[in-house]
Structure 1
Amino acid sequence: MLKKFSLLAPLFALLLTGCSLAPDYQRPEMDIPQTWEASQSQALQNKWWERFGDPTLNALVDEALVGNKNVAQAMARVEQAQASLGVARDALFPTAAATADGSRTGTRRDAGTIYKKQNGERFANSFSGALAASWNLDFWGKYWNAAEAARMGLVATEAARDNVLLSVAAGTVESYFWLSAYTWQEELAQSVLKNREESLKVYQDRFDNGQISDLDILSIKANVETARNALASARIAKNAAETSLAVLLGRSPAELLAGARIKAPGALMASLASTPVLPSGIPSDILNMRPDIRQAEASLKAANYNIGVARAAFLPSFSLTGLLGSASIELNELLRSSNHYAALSGNISLPLNFWTIKRGVTMVEAQKEEAIATYELTVLGAFKDVRDALVSQTEYANSVKALTRQVEYLDAAMGHARTRYDNGFASYLELLTTESNLFSAQQALAAAHAQHLASIAKVCLALGGGWQD
């Protein structure tokens, strides 16, 4: 028996691997630059958000990666793809089954079967047990290609999960910075409103004493309401940012209704422990690490293997079925060697619906063409994302510098305008204009800081998760 098995082992290996009718895979050729300038950037850094040096931000991202519902969906899809791969691989091996049967049939007539009398009746006993195995031989690589397509499906699903993780992390970082900006704007509006309300009391006394005109006191009151409206707008935006961030974190509806209570640094955003400085040049092959590109290429490979599956349908299919069992009219005699039996059968099936199979091949070939276009679009989109993000990061940094200088100049101008007004050398309209310009510049500076920091997060997102110096 052992000798027979040793002779069959090479045949088993040959039948298991078979041959493949799938075309050789080649990555689509694209005109891609080697790098943007010279750079030594290498592998991606997983926890790229830690470069900002903010412990609160780090804790929020960690919470989001655990609690976010999109992440939970992506994880579940990976489990499904893993199970699907296991099912596809199982088709390469024989399928085994075990059966057992027992019956006792009574009749008043002799039906030509062996009976036993009991209480005047005739009974027929029948007991059997068998082990069966069937195997679809993979001569043309149909099941192997299907298993490889499933493996590529798993790779694509894992890449999609990584893309969700990356997007959730980037979304949390951006939301946190915008929450910081709105908190800063709220603090500015509160401070301005308080100052204007105190100034209104002073100028009301001056108006009552006839020192200022009706136009001045009405302008001062209108200015107070402008600040009050700005405070309300900042609080609306802050609340929306809090709830959006809470959803990203996966917090419960009860927590959302009660208030997110997510602490943001406000004006401290302008002085984070560290603001990442991006490399001046990035090698193009770093984009191959982007999850969406990995997903697109894995899907393309799966489509390539599916062509082999479809082509194999043109050729005959072979299967073997083996049966080993025992049958007896007495249960205690079932295991006797004289009651054993065995059977081995083979089957060959030749398809005749070639037109239908041809349509199936045409369909999967078209799916591959679609996958090629998807891959190329994804690569183009990746280069666009990186270019746009790098330009935004540079220009928002310039915007922050310009607005910072503008705030400094307007703050100094505000002091001069107040002195001129108090000494009667300028109208209140001049003072009001300077004060309003300063308030607007301060609010714009808060938004620019958020845009600058968010643009750095977008670069990390565009690079597929960061960079390593």
Structure 2
Amino acid sequence: MMRVFIFCLTGLLSACSLTPEMTKPALPVPATFPPIASDTGTMSPPTAELGWRTMFRDERLQQLIELGLANNRDLRIAILHVKAVKAQYHIQRSAQVPHLNVTMSASRQRNLTSDDQGTQSSEIQQQSNLNLGFSAFEIDLFGRTRSMSDAAFARYLASDYGQKAAQIALISAIADAYFSERLTTAQLRLTEKTLTDWQASLDLTQKLRMGNQASALDVAQAESQVAGAQANRAAKIRALAQARNALRLLVGSRLPNDLPAPRPLTDQEMMTRLPAGLPADLLLYRPDILQAEQNLIAANEDIGAARAAYFPRLSLTSAMGYASSSIRHLVRSGATMWSLSPQIELPIFQGGRLDAALKLAKVRQSSAIAQYEKTIQTAFKEVADGLSGSETYQQQIAAQMNVIAAEQRRTHLSKLRYQSGVERHLTLLDAQRQLYAAKQTWLELKQQELSNAVFLYKALGGGLVESSGARE
């Protein structure tokens, strides 16, 4: 009967809450993304629904992403953080229900007594107790413990979204590092091929010098060009080693020897134009925005808990069980006992602590609002940058291919004119260097185009699902 009374009283008194109404701020960004010339206005599935296996077709890259999801330490830390915050939430939630405990105690003491004549006598007393009850259970009169529990739950959700954001960031980082490794590999091969061609040109120039058909200046210029190519090759070898080290760090383990053969940088089948939708769509798919929203909810609940601290706290301590002077007769009839001890605590003077706590909660809520708005603005900027990149990289690459074609014609004509004695050797060397630089620039643009697509994929919330059409 006593327990029924307690739970009914708890339900009646726990209906009050001082948490302010949660109102999210309006979007601090334009209603639409900047228009691009290729925008046809057709409806497409959200990019966030595009699985990373569909986005990245290179089988080697797919296996590297699998390894990274299983072994990356940053992602592992994020997952463990979620588990820790979840445990903290369960601890806080447990404060809303009484904690029943069984206690058993026994005491034995000797007392000395004196009569009127001064004669002393001793008496041994003993007491045994067996109780079931709870102590200092707070009845949530003004929603303090409920607000604290709701805040803990919101922080748990925020940590979960943070872990999802970490997964998206990891997948995009592995893809970007992989394309950087493919770039340095292609550049190294181009440098080695160019070095071979320039070495052959140097050998020819030296032979012409021996036949008095070329000057010593021509030989020196050719030697300088070959030495420059050798220096570039050493730099590309170093860059390739560093790119592979960065990839291993992201994957979090040694790269297996049985990985599929990589596709060349210029043969990557990947979507470089992605549907962006509207800025409001980011609120549904960007885990970092959802994380900021949950942090805002938690800060709002903290205000309710800080407000409730101004009001009285009612707590109950209750026990029922047995008490006897002998443990052998502890559970006999007539040895039962019970106790109910309500306690009310009213703060009167706290030295400004409660005011400071409420001000702190409000400041943290304002900070959470600012962080929420900043996260949305950052997301809008990232998507806008990615869209502008997807619009212009193809045009730039096409123009760079025209540059390569023109430099190839120039090099061919300069070689013919030099062999016929019409053109100076320096003109041929300059044409060869310009052609080499144009090809290097073309490779860099291809890598930048792929990296921009990865960046846009991440900015639109992609990378959370493995297969298209399945949300985790």
Give the match for residue 55 of structure 1: 59
Equivalence for 2:204: 202
Find the aligned partners of 1:456 and 1:435 in 2 and give their Cα distance.
Answer: 32
Letter in 2 for 1:95: H
User: Hey, what does 1:438 align to over in structure 2?
Assistant: 435
Aligned partner (choices 326, 337, 340) of residue 341 of structure 1: 337
For each residue in 1:61-83, what CA deviation from the matched residue of structure 2 results, as whole angstroms up to 9, or x when unmatched?
A: 12112211110111111011101
In structure 2, C-alpha distance between the alignment counterparts of 1:463 and 1:12, rounded to whole Å:
46
Structure 1 distance, partners of 2:301, 2:42, is 37
CA shift in 2, pair 1:260/1:314, >3 Å: farther
The answer on 1:238 being equivalent to 2:235 is no
The 8 Å contact of residues 155 and 295 in structure 2, kept in 1 or not, is answered as: yes
Contact 1:304/1:368 (8 A) holds in 2: yes
Q: Is the 8 A contact 2:172 2:463 kept in 1?
A: no
1:325 aligns with 2:321: yes
CA distance in 1, matches of 2:45, 2:300: 30
Separation in 1, partners of 2:375, 2:271: 29
Q: Residue 306 in 1 paired to residue 302 in 2?
A: yes
Deviation track 1:141-180 (CA, whole Å, cap 9, x = no partner) reads 1111111101110111111111111111111111111111
CA contact (8 A) 1:176 1:264 kept: no
Q: Write the deviation string for residues 10-63 of structure 1: whole angstroms up to 9, x where unpaired.
A: 544334x42110100011123544444645344422633632311111111121
1:409/1:99 Cα in 2 relative to 1: closer, same or farther (>3 Å)? same
Q: Distance in 2 between matches of 1:272 and 1:131?
A: 70
| Matched ranges for 1:44-443 at <5 A | 44-45=48-49, 47-48=51-52, 50-103=54-107, 125-134=126-135, 135-251=137-253, 265=262, 268-279=264-275, 281-288=276-283, 289-353=285-349, 355-443=352-440
Q: Partner of 1:115 in structure 2?
A: none
In structure 2, what is the Cα distance between the partners aligned to 1:186 and 1:262? Answer: 21
Q: Deviations over 1:82-134 (max 9, x none)?
A: 011101110110122222223555x6x7669xxxxxxxx98655432222213
Structure 1 range deviating more: 336-345 or 299-308: 336-345
Q: Alpha-carbon deviation of 1:306?
A: 0.5
Q: Percent identity?
A: 27
1:447 aligns with 2:448: no
Partner SS for 1:295: helix
**1:173 & 1:96 partners in 2: Cα distance?**
53
Distance 1:9 1:327, change over 3 A: closer
Give the counterpart letter for 1:333 in structure 2: H
C-alpha change, 1:110 and 1:31, in structure 2 (3 Å) is closer
CA distance in 2 between counterparts of 1:6 and 1:132 reads 13
Structure 1 residue ranges without an equivalent (≥5): 113-120
1:198: how far off?
Answer: 2.5
Q: CA deviation at 1:251?
A: 2.3
2: CA distance between counterparts of 1:216 and 1:83?
76
Whole-Å separation in 2 of the counterparts to 1:93 and 1:39: 54
Structure 2: which amino acid aligns with 1:300?
Answer: L
Match for 1:307: what amino acid?
I
State the one-letter code of the partner of 1:403.
Answer: Q
Give the 3-state SS of the residue equivalent to 1:325 in structure 2: strand
SS in 2 for 1:101: strand
Aligned-residue offset at 1:263: 8.4
Shift of 1:238: 1.2
**SS of the residue 2:338 aligns to:** strand
Secondary structure of the structure 1 residue equivalent to 2:343: strand
Amino acid at match of 1:57: L
Letter in 2 for 1:286: D
| Kept in 2: contact 1:276–1:456 (CA 8 A) | yes
Aligned residue type for 2:244: E
Counterpart amino acid of residue 282 in structure 1:
G
Q: Normalising by structure 2, what TM-score? A: 0.88
SS of 1:319's partner is strand
Q: Return 222-231 or 194-203, whichever deviates more.
A: 194-203
Aligned partner of residue 334 in structure 2, secondary structure: helix
Amino acid at match of 2:11: A
CA 349–42 in structure 1, closer or farther in 2 if over 3 Å, else same? farther
2:73 maps to a residue whose letter is: K
SS at match of 1:30: coil
Identify the match of residue 43 of structure 2 among 40, 43, 54. Answer: 40
Read off the aligned partner of 1:440 and give its amino acid letter. Answer: A
**Secondary structure, aligned partner of 1:95:** coil
Deviation (angstroms), 1:265:
4.2
1:242·1:260 contact (CA, 8 Å) conserved in 2? no
Cross-structure match for 1:462:
459
Change (3 A) 1:446 1:260: farther
CA distance in 1, matches of 2:261, 2:403: 25
**Unaligned segments of structure 2, at least 5 residues:** 36-40, 115-121
Aligned in 2, Cα 1:337/1:408: closer, same or farther, shift over 3 Å?
A: farther
Contact kept, 8 Å, 1:50 with 1:58, in 2: the verdict is: no
The amino acid across from 1:127 in the alignment is S
Instruction: Give me the whole-angstrom Cα distance separating, in 1, the residues matched to 2:28 and 2:260.
Output: 47
Distance change >3 Å, CA 303–CA 291, structure 1 → 2: same
**Larger displacement relative to structure 2 (232-241 or 353-362):** 353-362
Q: Distance in 2 between matches of 1:296 and 1:303?
A: 11
Aligned equivalents of 2:25 and 2:272: distance in 1?
34
Q: Which letter does structure 2 place at the counterpart of 1:461?
A: K
